[in-house]
């Protein structure tokens, strides 16, 4: 604990200082000043007690004590004001630190190479950092300030006792040891309990989402899963509850033991003070002040121990956050590179090999394809053949393990990623259904051009979809929010295709763009794509081979390799895999029509 705490607190204070210098300085400075007035108030108490315990009429003793009493009251009021100011600064720091930590995490997650999200280790580290590390970044800052506050309080009390009489200083530790032991032990129990139920807790949250979220709601009802899910939930929740009850019993026993030992320690202190008074080592006023100082120090030391334990516990998760940030920084592609070519006459993938993280088998093995400007090139093949992976490599989303992808002789590896992707439009098969307005779902952060927006929506056949929405382009496409609406799979697909047309890129990649469309809509879509592709280059991935008959060139992939290439006519004459798949699909349609 002693080795790791300096690193945690240093990193936390650095984030805190960057989040708000003013609030960080106020929280630290005001706590330090409050500690000074704690010591000053305790020392002034000695003057009050000496005046009250002096010989003479009571009225005269009270009048003599008034100046010292005023000093005690002033010090107490100033200390309270300073602590209130420090508390306000801490409350202000918490949301600012958490926001900064979360923004830094997202700054990295949106920069890392795409393959990072295919790496289980990276993904798990990211989840830990996001779910626990970000919230606990603010806790670490808060507990760091609390540790400092507790340490200042203990130091102020220790200085006071040392000034009163050196022999009084050990008495402070005697009273604090039992409470400190209890705080350490209960904190340890809490953390170990968390580790014991962490897996069960994650599963409980998963089951909670299945029973309370919109997406699985229909299937829960269709398969009558209510009793099954509730039973699974009860089993997991029972395990978690039993652990928490056991820990509650153990922690209560520890607290009781700590309180009993603390009472015995306090009694021993009073006996020691009585002995010091009896032998004339200290005066009565000093003994009274010592009692107050010991009680104050005991509270500060207990708070210090508890804060240190909370700091360490939160620091474990904050450490996960720091470790992930370091991991992510190592996965961010190097900034820079040459500018993307102003255009291209030819894109060539030359003997490209690519393997996903953790996979023993390459997704692509020495694949070579050529795409010329203005062509419609189709990538076909069975599931898992490597079509989508090749498309992502062509778009610069993945970097090949070997081989090169060149735009007119310029290797993509040396081109700035963002500059390259400004020239490319990719519509994935599993495109995102953004919880934004219909307009934002098409423009996706680009400046709104009403003319180009209307053309893109009409070309994609999405004008009818938007025309039926209650608020047109301003309709929020998420039913979980007020006045939000949802779309069918086919309607979402039209919106996604409009997104590609609006981007107006030189290279457009469509991955299964018609999977949710009926046959008539699919035919109309491919006609629009061919018309809109005038002067542009289209890479089309589809299982429906009737849609690629008019492609300029077809590449057939099998197990990560190019098995065949040519036009539709050439491949049919070759009577290879493409011809077999095409006839199989054609016969299926003929059988349906005959039936």
- Model pLDDT for residues 342-381, shown as the tens digit of each residue: 777 888 999 999 998 878 889 999 999 999 888 889 998 8
Residue 171 near residue 292, CB atoms below 8 Å:
no
Q: Are residues 30 and 95 in the same domain?
A: yes
Contact 408, 340 (CB under 8 A): no
Strand partners, 364: 354
Q: Is 576 inside any structural domain?
A: yes
Q: How far apart are alpha carbons 28 and 21 in whole angstroms? A: 11
Rounded CA separation 107/322 (Å)? 14
Query: In the chain, what's the furthest Cα-to-Cα distance?
Result: 124
Same domain for 418 and 513, yes or no, is yes
- Alpha-carbon distance of 305 to 186, in angstroms, equals 11
Q: Quick check: is 109 in a domain?
A: yes
Q: What is the mean predicted confidence (pLDDT) over 421-434?
A: 81
How many beta carbons lie within 10 A of that of residue 468, not counting itself? 12
Decide if 183 is inside a domain.
Answer: no
Report the interhelical angle of 519-532 vs 450-459 (nearest 10°): 130
Quick check: 322 pLDDT over 70?
Answer: yes
CATH number at residue 473: 3.40.50.300
Question: Whose CA is closest to 261, among 180, 158, 161?
Answer: 180
Taking the CA of residue 148 as centre, how many other CA atoms within 13 Å lie in the half-sphere pointing to its CB? Answer: 24
d(CA 441, CA 465) in angstroms, rounded, equals 13
Q: Which of 456, 458, 480 is nearest to 467 (CA)?
A: 458
Residue environment code for 521-534, b if the CB has 16+ CB neighbours within 10 A, otherwise e: ebeebbebbeebee
Tens of pLDDT, residue by residue over 63-76, are 665 676 677 677 77
Name residues whose C-beta falls within 8 Å of residue 404's C-beta, 6 or more positions apart in sequence: 349, 350, 351, 352, 411, 412, 413
Q: Which has more confidence, 272 or 566?
A: 566
Number of domains in the chain: 4
Which pairing describes strands 402-407 and 410-411: parallel, antiparallel, or unpaired?
antiparallel
d(CA 12, CA 392): 39
**Sign of the alpha-carbon torsion through 147, 295, 293, 87:** positive
> Is the pLDDT reported for residue 51 higher than 60?
no
Q: 488-514 pLDDT, tens per residue?
A: 888 888 898 888 888 878 888 888 776
pLDDT confidence of residue 593: 47
In terms of average pLDDT, the best of 277-286, 304-313, 451-460 is 451-460
Whether 372 and 311 map to the same domain: the answer is no
> Cα(98)–Cα(105) distance, rounded to whole angstroms?
11
In a domain, 180, yes or no: no
Nearest partner of 147 among 27, 40, 33, judged by Cα: 27
Residues 17 and 99 in one domain: yes
For residue 70, what are the contacts with CB-CB under 8 A and spacing of at least 6? none
Residue 351, pLDDT score: 93
- Domain end, chosen from 276, 294, 317, is at 276
| Mean pLDDT of the 273-283 span | 75
Highest mean pLDDT among 39-53, 296-310, 343-357: 343-357
Predicted pLDDT of residue 44? 60
Parent domain of 446: 432-504
* Among candidate residues 504, 537, 556, the one where a domain is terminated: 504
Which one of 454, 483, 504 terminates a domain? Answer: 504
Whether 257 and 124 map to the same domain: the answer is: no
**Chain mean pLDDT for the chain:** 80
Instruction: Classify residue 176: in a domain, yes or no.
Output: no
Please tell me the predicted confidence (pLDDT) of residue 566.
Answer: 92
127 and 11, same structural domain?
yes
Both 143 and 286 in one domain: the answer is yes
- The answer to whether position 363 is within a domain reads yes
Instruction: Enumerate residues 6+ apart whose C-beta is below 8 A from 336.
Output: 416
Task: Report helix, strand or coil for 296.
Answer: helix
Least reliable range by pLDDT among 94-98, 157-161, 378-382: 157-161
What SS3 class is residue 576?
A: coil
With a cut of 50, say whether residue 40 has pLDDT above it: yes
> Are 480 and 588 found together in one domain?
no
Nearby residues of 456 by Cβ (< 8 Å), 6 or more positions away: 442, 498, 499, 501, 502, 504
How much is the pLDDT for 368? 92
pLDDT attached to residue 59:
59
Per-residue pLDDT of 392-422, as tens digits, reads: 888 888 888 899 988 887 888 777 667 777 7
Per-residue CA distances from 79 to 30, 151, 153 (Å): 9, 16, 11
Give me Rg for the CA atoms of the chain.
36
121-145 mean pLDDT: 83
Strands 537-541 and 376-381: parallel
Looking at the domain assignment, is residue 184 inside a domain?
no
Q: pLDDT value at position 68?
A: 64
Asked whether residue 493 falls in the same domain as residue 511, the answer is: no
Specify whether 199 is located in the same domain as 249.
Answer: yes
Same domain, 474 and 412: no
pLDDT interval class at 141 (50, 70, 90): confident
Q: Dump pLDDT digits (tens) for 180-193.
A: 777 767 767 776 77
pLDDT for res 595:
46
Q: Are residues 114 and 156 in the same domain?
A: yes
Whether the predicted pLDDT of 148 surpasses 50: yes
Task: Assign 3-state DSSP to the chain and report helix, strand, coil percentages, each to 5.
Answer: 65, 10, 20
Residue 335 belongs to some domain of the structure: no
174 has a pLDDT exceeding 90: no
pLDDT in tens, 552-594: 899 999 989 999 999 999 999 998 888 888 888 777 655 554 4
**Cα–chain center distance at 191:** 22
């Amino acid at each position: 604990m002693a080795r790791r705490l300096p690193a945690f607190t240093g990193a936390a204070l650095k984030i805190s200082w960057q989040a708000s210098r003013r609030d960080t300085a106020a929280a630290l400075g005001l706590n330090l000043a409050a500690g000074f007035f704690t010591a000053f108030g305790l020392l002034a108490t000695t003057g009050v007690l000496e005046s009250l315990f002096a010989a003479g009429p009571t009225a005269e003793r009270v009048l003599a004590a008034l100046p010292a009493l005023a000093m005690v009251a002033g010090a107490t009021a100033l200390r309270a004001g300073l602590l209130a100011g420090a508390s306000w600064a801490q409350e202000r720091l918490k949301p600012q630190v958490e926001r900064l930590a979360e923004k830094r995490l997202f700054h990295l997650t949106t920069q890392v190479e795409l393959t990072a999200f295919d790496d289980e280790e990276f993904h798990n580290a990211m989840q830990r950092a996001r779910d626990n590390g970000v919230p606990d970044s603010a806790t670490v800052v808060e507990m760091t300030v609390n540790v400092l506050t507790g340490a200042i309080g203990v130091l102020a009390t220790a200085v006071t006792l040392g000034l009163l009489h050196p022999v009084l200083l050990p008495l402070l530790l005697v009273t604090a040891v039992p409470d400190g032991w209890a705080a350490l032990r209960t904190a340890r129990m809490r953390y170990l309990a968390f580790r014991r139920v962490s897996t069960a807790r994650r599963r409980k949250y998963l089951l909670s989402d299945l029973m309370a979220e919109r997406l699985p709601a229909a299937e829960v009802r269709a398969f009558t899963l209510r009793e099954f899910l509730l039973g699974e939930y009860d089993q997991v929740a029972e395990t978690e509850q039993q652990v928490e009850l056991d820990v509650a019993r153990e922690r209560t026993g520890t607290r009781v033991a700590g309180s009993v030992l603390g009472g015995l320690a306090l009694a021993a202190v009073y006996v020691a003070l009585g002995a010091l008074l009896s032998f004339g080592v200290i005066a009565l006023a000093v003994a009274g002040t010592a009692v107050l100082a010991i009680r104050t120090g005991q509270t500060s030391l207990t708070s210090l121990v508890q804060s240190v334990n909370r700091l360490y516990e939160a620091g474990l998760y904050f450490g996960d956050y720091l470790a992930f940030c370091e991991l992510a920084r190592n996965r961010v592609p190097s900034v820079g590179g040459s500018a993307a070519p102003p255009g291209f006459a030819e894109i060539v993938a030359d003997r490209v090999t690519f393997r996903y993280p953790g996979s023993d088998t390459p997704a692509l093995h020495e694949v070579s394809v050529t795409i010329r400007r203005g062509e419609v090139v189709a990538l076909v093949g069975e599931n898992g053949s490597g079509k989508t992976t090749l498309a992502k490599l062509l778009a610069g989303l993945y970097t090949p393990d070997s081989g090169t992808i060149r735009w007119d002789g310029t290797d993509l590896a040396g081109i700035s990623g963002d500059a390259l992707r400004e020239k490319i439009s990719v519509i994935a098969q599993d495109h995102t259904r953004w919880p934004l307005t219909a307009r934002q779902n098409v423009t996706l952060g680009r400046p709104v051009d009403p003319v180009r927006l209307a053309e893109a929506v009409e070309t994609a056949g999405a004008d009818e979809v938007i025309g039926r929405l209650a608020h047109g382009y301003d309709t929020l496409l998420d039913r979980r929010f007020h006045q939000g609406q949802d779309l069918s799979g086919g309607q979402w697909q039209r919106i996604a295709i409009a997104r590609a047309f609006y981007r107006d890129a030189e290279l457009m990649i469509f991955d299964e763009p018609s999977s949710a469309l009926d046959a008539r809509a699919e035919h109309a879509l491919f006609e629009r794509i061919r018309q809109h592709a005038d002067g542009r280059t289209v890479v089309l991935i589809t299982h429906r081979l009737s849609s690629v008959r008019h492609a300029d060139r077809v590449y057939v992939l099998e197990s990560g390799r190019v098995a065949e290439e040519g036009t539709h006519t050439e491949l049919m004459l070759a009577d290879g895999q493409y011809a077999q798949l095409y006839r199989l699909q054609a016969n299926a349609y003929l059988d349906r029509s005959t039936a």
